[in-house]
A and B are shown apart, each in its own frame.
Chain A
Amino acid sequence: MHDIFVLAEHREGELREVTLEILTLAGQLAEQSGGKVTAVLLGSGIDEYAGKCASFADRVLVVDDPMYKDYNSAAYQQALVELIKAEKPHLVLIGNTGQGVDLAPSLAVELDVPYTSDVVSVTLEGDKPVATRQYYGGKIDGRIEFKDADVYVLAIREASTPAGEGGKSGEIQKIDNPVTTEVTVRKFLEYVEAAIGEVDITQSTMLVSVGRGIRDEKNMPIMEELAEAMGADLSASRAVVDAGWLPTDRQVGISGKTVSPKLYLAVGISGAFQHVTGIKGADVVVAINKDPDAPIFQYADYGIVDDLLKVVPALTEKIKEMKG
């Protein structure tokens, strides 16, 4: 009745960390509701992942079939619909990841149950989940309440609950593939790795990072000059890379690089979740932003609330002076 399904996510021979995070969250919710946590693992040759999931779950439901070797939304969705209809869990938790956002919304429609996405926290009020998520680039929180249903599907933001220690020993249950017909509407081909550029920002000890606040490509030289004066490498938010002002390999964040410099100087970057997950490893974070409410100030050690077009040239001068 109060059971929770968690879809395990794996890619290219690795169980993804988000799986253990969500299993941890599910464990906390189950403790409250008295339900059981089931990790659902679809894949091929996945015994190792099953073992890992078992230490975070009461049960691991394993469907081992070549059909699931690489993720395919069409196949995954069919399998999940069958499993959910048969087992009737109360909650289905999926990562709000590149995989999850491709799968969870259509799954919920096919099941005809409520869905919300990018959830940062969930509580149970009585029988029902209540979710908190962010709006307007993290400037506002919103509380989501659901209409009554037997099943609720939620996509959970990565890194919103730290993975616990595990320590359970859930039963591993292998079941037959519930999907008997081949899926043809969509076919996985291959993975293509991101290109590697001339500067590897994951190795940089100092990063000067530029965001959309720079406004125009013609302002980019002031950032280059600051980076040069500081002896730092130049990196960027996605907005700057999308605009073509810096190459893709300079992008910091969830779809770019995870960096761990001694100093990360974020200039004109708002601090979207997808960006700041990439700077968790930085020692000192400094932010320059005109907007005092920019979320980046929640992650920075020092901040300057001002126009970057004024501060950056002044800072470059001071640093040049200091270095003599």
Chain B
Amino acid sequence: MNVVVCVKQVPDTSDPDVEVHIDSSGKGVDESKFSFVINDADNYAVEEAILLKEKHEGEVTVVNIGPEAANQVVRMALAKGGDQAIRLDDERFAFSDITATARLLASAIGDLEFDIVMTGCIASDDGYSAVGVTLAQMLDLPHAAMVKSVEVIGDNKLKVGRELEGGLLEMLEIETPCVLTIQTGINEPRYASFKGIRAASKKEIKVMDLEATGLSEDQVGEAGSTAVMVEYSVPVVGELAEILEGDAAETSVKLSGILKEKGLV
């Protein structure tokens, strides 16, 4: 069972000190103070790929579109059990939309031998939840999105559970090769071992620029995009909460007072 897993490097938006400021171009953000991490859902996708490999043999290939700094998340996926990696890196890939991103991934994955391609179901920065399913159609493969369980039930058949609203699971059968977009919580991602980290430093990360992808300049980046994010803005928000000021001793007195007044404690 060969699995390809797509991993994106994203800013850690759960960090309260990560402020998101629009830069002077209006269509980027100031990344200088970001700490970068693997996208949450992709972390689960990596684990699921490695679990399948451990159970059914085969190889795991990690694919990323990102700058050299993204090697950090790629190496971590290799340290956990990935076998090799491809990183697509070229200035001309900047501002790629859903379509151009998926097209780039397809250019790297199309020639590989695989049974399953896994992506995360959503990237925490752009929140498209679309790249995986777009990629599937470009590779002309069946797909299932928001996958919360995977079971191999035949030579070229999987039983998967898709998570729907309210936690309802839709169980379905799907033929391989296929593309699955993995939802968080499907497994318990492992930590990389020291041995794994050492081994990973020797594994190959193949870097592909535009020429290596075989795509043309007008198929990638903004030129290759059909739904382009042209301008960021600060959201217009309605009324904000009444903020209770002071240190913890003061705010806890204020809040407990309010709760008492409202008959809540």
- List chain A positions with a Cβ less than 8 A from chain B: 11, 70-74, 96-99, 101-106, 108-110, 113-118, 131, 133-147, 149, 155, 184-194, 206, 212-213, 230-231, 238-239, 241-242, 244, 248, 251, 254-258, 262-263, 270, 284-287, 289-294, 297-307, 310-311, 314-315, 317-319, 322-323
Known: A73-B144, A145-B227. 13 other contacts (CB 8 A): A104-B133, A105-B133, A135-B125, A136-B125, A140-B232, A142-B232, A190-B171, A192-B169, A212-B14, A238-B185, A286-B255, A314-B248, A322-B260
- List chain B positions with a Cβ less than 8 A from chain A: 11, 13-14, 16-17, 19-20, 22, 29, 40, 44, 97-99, 102, 121, 124-131, 133-134, 136-138, 142-146, 159, 161-175, 178, 184-185, 188, 225-235, 237-238, 240-244, 247-249, 251-253, 255-256, 258-260, 262, 264-265
A241 touches B185 (CB 8 A): yes
A303 touches B240 (CB 8 A): yes
B255 touches A116 (CB 8 A): no
B173 touches A311 (CB 8 A): no
Distance between B182 CB and nearest chain A CB, rounded to angstroms: 12
Take A105-B130, A139-B13, A238-B185 as given contacts and tell me if A255 and B125 are in contact as well, using a CB distance cutoff of 8 Å: no
Take A185-B175, A213-B16, A284-B262 as given contacts and tell me if A114 and B29 are in contact as well, using a CB distance cutoff of 8 Å: no
Secondary structure of the B side of the interface? mixed
Give 14 CB contacts A-B under 8 Å: A98-B165, A109-B134, A136-B11, A144-B230, A185-B174, A186-B172, A186-B175, A192-B169, A242-B44, A248-B167, A263-B259, A286-B255, A286-B259, A315-B252
B230 touches A311 (CB 8 A): no
Which residues on A sit within 8 Å (CB–CB) of B126? 135
Which residues on A sit within 8 Å (CB–CB) of B131? 105
B229 touches A287 (CB 8 A): no
Take A212-B14, A262-B264 as given contacts and tell me if A311 and B162 are in contact as well, using a CB distance cutoff of 8 Å: no
A101 touches B13 (CB 8 A): no
Query: In whole angstroms, what is the CA distance A208 to B146 when docked?
Result: 28
Query: In whole angstroms, what is the CA distance A294 to B15 when docked?
Result: 11
A311 touches B165 (CB 8 A): no
In chain B, what residue has the closest Cβ to A310? B248
Take A139-B13, A192-B171 as given contacts and tell me if A114 and B226 are in contact as well, using a CB distance cutoff of 8 Å: yes
Secondary structure of the A side of the interface? mixed
Distance between B232 CB and nearest chain A CB, rounded to angstroms: 5
Query: In whole angstroms, what is the CA distance A116 to B233 when docked?
Result: 18
B258 touches A302 (CB 8 A): yes
Query: In whole angstroms, what is the CA distance A304 to B256 when docked?
Result: 12
B142 touches A98 (CB 8 A): no
B252 touches A318 (CB 8 A): yes
B244 touches A302 (CB 8 A): yes
Which residues on B sit within 8 Å (CB–CB) of A74? 142
Query: In whole angstroms, what is the CA distance A155 to B128 when docked?
Result: 10
Which residues on A sit within 8 Å (CB–CB) of B143? 73, 102, 106
A303 touches B244 (CB 8 A): yes
B172 touches A191 (CB 8 A): no
A287 touches B241 (CB 8 A): yes
A72 touches B172 (CB 8 A): yes
Take A186-B144, A213-B14, A304-B243 as given contacts and tell me if A254 and B137 are in contact as well, using a CB distance cutoff of 8 Å: no
Query: In whole angstroms, what is the CA distance A242 to B171 when docked?
Result: 20
B159 touches A322 (CB 8 A): no
Which residues on B sit within 8 Å (CB–CB) of A192? 161, 168-169, 171
Which residues on B sit within 8 Å (CB–CB) of A248? 167, 185
Query: In whole angstroms, what is the CA distance A258 to B228 when docked?
Result: 34
Which residues on B sit within 8 Å (CB–CB) of A138? 235
Q: Which of B22, B146, B172, B229 contacts A101 (CB 8 A)?
A: B146
Q: Which of B40, B184, B231, B265 contacts A143 (CB 8 A)?
A: B231
Query: In whole angstroms, what is the CA distance A96 to B165 when docked?
Result: 11
Which residues on B sit within 8 Å (CB–CB) of A189? 159, 171-173
B127 touches A194 (CB 8 A): no
Distance between B186 CB and nearest chain A CB, rounded to angstroms: 9
Q: Which of B130, B161, B163 contacts A115 (CB 8 A)?
A: B130
Query: In whole angstroms, what is the CA distance A144 to B231 when docked?
Result: 8
Q: Which of B29, B230, B235 contacts A134 (CB 8 A)?
A: B235
Query: In whole angstroms, what is the CA distance A287 to B265 when docked?
Result: 17
Take A102-B144, A213-B14, A293-B19 as given contacts and tell me if A117 and B168 are in contact as well, using a CB distance cutoff of 8 Å: no
B171 touches A284 (CB 8 A): no
A137 touches B129 (CB 8 A): no
Which residues on B sit within 8 Å (CB–CB) of A291? 16-17
Distance between A194 CB and nearest chain B CB, rounded to angstroms: 3
Which residues on A sit within 8 Å (CB–CB) of B229? 135, 142-144
Which residues on B sit within 8 Å (CB–CB) of A116? 97-98, 128, 130, 227
A140 touches B174 (CB 8 A): no
Q: Which of B20, B165, B258, B265 counts the most A-chain CB atoms under 10 A from its CB? A: B165
B128 touches A301 (CB 8 A): no
B242 touches A144 (CB 8 A): no
Distance between A119 CB and nearest chain B CB, rounded to angstroms: 10
Q: Which of A110, A155, A302 contacts B242 (CB 8 A)?
A: A302
